[in-house]
Structure 1
Amino acid sequence: MWIKEEPSPTPGAPDVSGPVDKENETEERVHSCGGRQVFSPEENRAIGGAIERLGLQLIEKLPIGPQQPNVVLSPLSLAFALAHLTLGARNETEKLLLKSLHAQSLPCYHHILGGLVPHFSNMDVASRMYLRPGFEAKLSFVEDSLARYRSQPVPLTSVEEVNHWVGNATNGHIPNFMESIPHDVVLMLINAVYFKGEWQTRFDPLATSKGIFYLDNQNLVSVDMMKSAQYPLRLMDDPQLEAQVASFPFKGNTSFLIVMPLLGRGNVSSVLPKLNISDIYRRLPQEKTMQVNLPKVKLQYRQELQEALTRMGLGSLFSGPDLSGISDHPLKVTDVRHASTIELSEEGVEASATTAITSMRSVSLFSVNSPFLFALVDEASHTPLFMGIVTNPAPDNDPMLNDDPHINSTMADQPAMENVRKSDINSQLTSCSDTEQAEGSSRPSCSAPTGEKEQLQPVNGLEGSSGKKKTQGNEIYTKPDNFVPDV
């Protein structure tokens, strides 16, 4: 996040920051914690739910299209960046930020959020505050930043130094976070998140083969599918979401949640307003061994968030916010950037941030072969560490026309659609057995059929799209119109 200094207001100019609430109950409730250091699982999950709602709201506001078919972000990283800014916000600006964080009624928000990090498995979270030489932030803000979010104040000297720190914090997955630093930026708040998890049950690399992913009812794309004939999985059909929901466990206390709308019954966007991760985990059944197909995915995503945050009601951050807790000089946010990557492979995932009756399908098979929403979830607090939408797991591959008459129909016949999808899966898993094993492995392996397949034809006028590059970083910049930095 970039912050710049604004010209001082003209004497007699109206104060647009809102009235000063000297007995600000919201600030007291969120910032003060009465010396408490330990919090209950319910309090941790309340913070996790707030982070989830922030992530879902943001995803709804982000563009998805042919040139950017996938979204990958870390709600946790964004929550850290906005919460860090909240430490220096006052009056209406603070209230708006707390509302966007869904933290207005959460006691000890900053204490719990900062205290969650050590409990996350296989995850590193780092924060840093860059100050332009010559700009002095208030000591209280610097001390609170260090105490709550372990954000070290560092002189802002060069873009190379910033990129070097971000690269190290994300294990090299975001080597060039920034191209340049505007001359009038006086403060940058950066948060970086890195996760590397290993499946509790790995996929056999020898079983990975080409498979089909349905982009919609007319187009598909060839992808590398990881396959297992016997994979322990928590799976249910959710009638309210009209989706299949599955949880893939990692070693540690983390899991990979997939929500895949049923073909012909809506899309991923229709799921977002109804999603509740805590409710899903409460209703998921026990693990059951089944056949599983999961696409290999390596997605890179970069997005400036000013427009999306403005649509979420935070537009005043970029015009005339009250950040007097940082400095007595007028400041405003000029840029909020987010960069993330996620990779699904046979070993695991590497990422740099209702009360309805449910039932299982009679066929013990789960194939992720159409657009889906995912979340990398801490199971203790139900915090979504990463979230995203995948509408095309192979954006560099050319889409192909699907000439199957069932798929090209109106897709109103859901049973027919599911049978087509299952027949595709079964044809790809014709030779899976417990006796055919990879060398040195006790896991079953699968081989794809060797017979000839009909050549799929490229679709005229459709081009493959490439995802934007980057892993998990967030920043907030602040800069001044009349500020002359020391050189």
Structure 2
Amino acid sequence: MIRKNGINSDGNSIGKVTKSDQRVYISQAHMQFALDVLSSLISERFNMKTHLLESFVFSPLSVQSVLMMLHLGAKGKTKAEISNALYLSKLDNNVTFSTTHEIFGGSVKNLMQDNAISNSLSMANQIFVRKDLQLSATYKLALSHYYATSLTPTDFTRDAFRLINDFVAKHTKGFINNFLTTNPSSATGILPVNALYFKGTWQYKFDERETDTDAWFQLTNGQRSKVTMMVGKFPVAYGYSHSMKTTIIELPYSVHRLGLFLMLPDEVKGLFYLIRSLNATTFTTLITSMRKSKNDEINIRIPKFEIETSPSLTTTLRNHLGLRSIFSNGEADLSGMFSRSPVAIHVHEFMHKAILKIDERGSVGAAASAAIAERIGSFNGKFFEADHPFLFFLTDKQSGLIIFAGIYSGPLEKKFQ
């Protein structure tokens, strides 16, 4: 399994968590989970024959929201596996009261209820449940309390396809219209869905007249591809890690608590070393090392792009993060969801779809589903030119929630040189 223990201050195994540290711990746990999924998806999307890495995007916030809803109703081995995958096993995980859910759910509520955010970000949770199944009153109360989740009795033999696609389309403002491409199995018992939509404008907008429509981008196999580069000079936060050989900048949004962090390795293939070096501790160190000066502007060139990804996360969650029993008929224990335990309820597939568009005005996206501080290095003449693969993280800087994460590795559909 791809597991990195990088949550506590020394970067070693996770120890006992005190109450005063719980909020920071859960933020770090969320970050580590996001990095685990990111690392797994890189492995899955790297073609060993062509040596090309495919660009992708996913929403850690959306994925974890669904897992947290499942965690509320899981018991035994299934609950333990979800807790381990999310690095939450050290905390109180009772259904009726849970520090874990209180803090994570509270962070999400705080983000979504921020008046400055409301026009930029929206999220909704829904559980579609087979009509003959009765959810327990305790589970329904916990869902409502922590995640404002509503329930929809569903006939999975008839109307599930329409109901679920309509829900996702509505709450992503039409950005995702075809979340499901086929009808769910008629044997489906429950289907938890999270839909998320984001539209943000930059604090410093790129001038479209400066955009370079004929720029080169270096791919992981040594070839080059043409891209459209946005060009600007802004007083943004930046930093450099000598150990990871990586430059980082933040492109801030007009909603100041949100930022797009770009991590650019020195070398074209440095992305693979960077992802091996990243864990929650090194990620936080890199972010906190950043500096900003109003009199120190950075020359920026980054690709204009749109990425749409529909990864089935079943393989990632089962094979790399250890969530095995929940996908196994006969092993899954989701009995905490029901007033009467049904026969053989398990998760058949974990579906997720994410879209992120970056242009001169900002971003549009949708998704359904302390180490010792490092000394800052020089910034190579104050240039940030993303002409080879880089990581990106669209983050709520207040809570640490990662709304979108992914890799841009070039437009593989275009001609190479």
Aligned to 2:323: 314
Secondary structure of 2:235's match?
A: strand
Alignment deviations for residues 320-341 of structure 1 (CA, whole Å, 9 cap, x no partner): 1211102312321111011000
Separation in structure 1 between the aligned mates of residue 86 and residue 221 of structure 2, nearest angstrom: 37
Secondary structure of 1:332's match?
A: coil
Q: Which has the larger radius of gyration?
A: 1
Does the 8 Å contact 1:268/1:373 carry over to 2?
no
Q: 1:264 to 1:168 in 2, by over 3 A?
A: closer
Question: CA offset at residue 357 of structure 1?
Answer: 1.9
Does the 8 Å contact 1:241/1:271 carry over to 2?
no
Q: Residue type of the partner of 2:325? A: S
The answer for unaligned runs of 5 or more in structure 1 is 1-28, 31-38, 401-487
Find 2:291's aligned residue among 285, 288, 293.
Answer: 285
Aligned to 1:56: 35
Aligned to 1:425: none
Does the 8 Å contact 1:242/1:265 carry over to 2?
no
Does the 8 Å contact 1:44/1:116 carry over to 2?
no
Alignment deviations for residues 84-131 of structure 1 (CA, whole Å, 9 cap, x no partner): 001111122211111111112345110111111233333211100111
TM-score, structure 1 normalization? 0.70
Q: How does 1:89-238 map to 2 (within 5 A)?
A: 89-106=74-91, 108-120=99-111, 121=117, 122-157=120-155, 158=159, 159-179=161-181, 180-210=183-213, 211-216=215-220, 218-228=222-232, 230-238=233-241
Q: How does 1:59-458 map to 2 (within 5 A)?
A: 59-62=38-41, 63-65=44-46, 69-106=54-91, 108-120=99-111, 121=117, 122-157=120-155, 158=159, 159-179=161-181, 180-210=183-213, 211-216=215-220, 218-228=222-232, 230-252=233-255, 253-263=257-267, 266-268=270-272, 270-275=274-279, 276-287=282-293, 288-311=296-319, 312-319=321-328, 320-327=331-338, 328-329=341-342, 330-352=344-366, 354=371, 355-392=373-410, 394-400=411-417
Separation in structure 2 between the aligned mates of residue 262 and residue 381 of structure 1, nearest angstrom: 29
Q: 1:160 to 1:264 in 2, by over 3 A?
A: closer
Question: CA offset at residue 264 of structure 1?
Answer: 5.7
Q: How does 1:13-28 map to 2 (within 5 A)?
A: none
Question: CA offset at residue 362 of structure 1?
Answer: 4.5
Separation in structure 2 between the aligned mates of residue 222 and residue 326 of structure 1, nearest angstrom: 51
Q: Residue type of the partner of 1:371? A: P
Question: CA offset at residue 317 of structure 1?
Answer: 1.2
Secondary structure of 1:154's match?
A: strand
Separation in structure 1 between the aligned mates of residue 305 and residue 276 of structure 2, nearest angstrom: 21
Q: Residue type of the partner of 1:395? A: L
Separation in structure 1 between the aligned mates of residue 352 and residue 107 of structure 2, nearest angstrom: 21
Separation in structure 1 between the aligned mates of residue 298 and residue 283 of structure 2, nearest angstrom: 23
Separation in structure 1 between the aligned mates of residue 337 and residue 80 of structure 2, nearest angstrom: 16
Question: CA offset at residue 269 of structure 1?
Answer: 5.4
Secondary structure of 2:352's match?
A: strand
Separation in structure 2 between the aligned mates of residue 153 and residue 217 of structure 1, nearest angstrom: 48
Q: Residue type of the partner of 1:396? A: E
Does the 8 Å contact 1:235/1:360 carry over to 2?
no
Q: 1:222 to 1:74 in 2, by over 3 A?
A: same
Q: Residue type of the partner of 1:341? A: I
Secondary structure of 2:69's match?
A: helix
Separation in structure 1 between the aligned mates of residue 191 and residue 352 of structure 2, nearest angstrom: 13
Q: Residue type of the partner of 1:304? A: S
Separation in structure 1 between the aligned mates of residue 358 and residue 327 of structure 2, nearest angstrom: 36
Separation in structure 1 between the aligned mates of residue 275 and residue 127 of structure 2, nearest angstrom: 36
The CA RMSD measured in Å over matched residues stands at 2.2
Q: 1:317 to 1:137 in 2, by over 3 A?
A: same
Q: 1:315 to 1:217 in 2, by over 3 A?
A: closer
Separation in structure 2 between the aligned mates of residue 339 and residue 317 of structure 1, nearest angstrom: 20
Q: 1:131 to 1:345 in 2, by over 3 A?
A: same
Q: 1:233 to 1:84 in 2, by over 3 A?
A: same
The answer for unaligned runs of 5 or more in structure 2 is 1-15, 93-98, 112-116
Alignment deviations for residues 331-360 of structure 1 (CA, whole Å, 9 cap, x no partner): 211110110000101111111154332212
Post-superposition, which runs of at least 4 consecutive aligned residues in structure 1 deviate over 4 A? none
Q: 1:324 to 1:273 in 2, by over 3 A?
A: farther
Separation in structure 2 between the aligned mates of residue 220 and residue 397 of structure 1, nearest angstrom: 10
Separation in structure 2 between the aligned mates of residue 57 and residue 281 of structure 1, nearest angstrom: 18
Separation in structure 2 between the aligned mates of residue 218 and residue 278 of structure 1, nearest angstrom: 31
Q: Residue type of the partner of 1:75? A: P
TM-score, structure 2 normalization? 0.82
Q: Percent identity?
A: 24
Separation in structure 1 between the aligned mates of residue 186 and residue 357 of structure 2, nearest angstrom: 35
Q: Residue type of the partner of 1:291? A: N
Separation in structure 1 between the aligned mates of residue 380 and residue 139 of structure 2, nearest angstrom: 58
Separation in structure 1 between the aligned mates of residue 413 and residue 57 of structure 2, nearest angstrom: 17
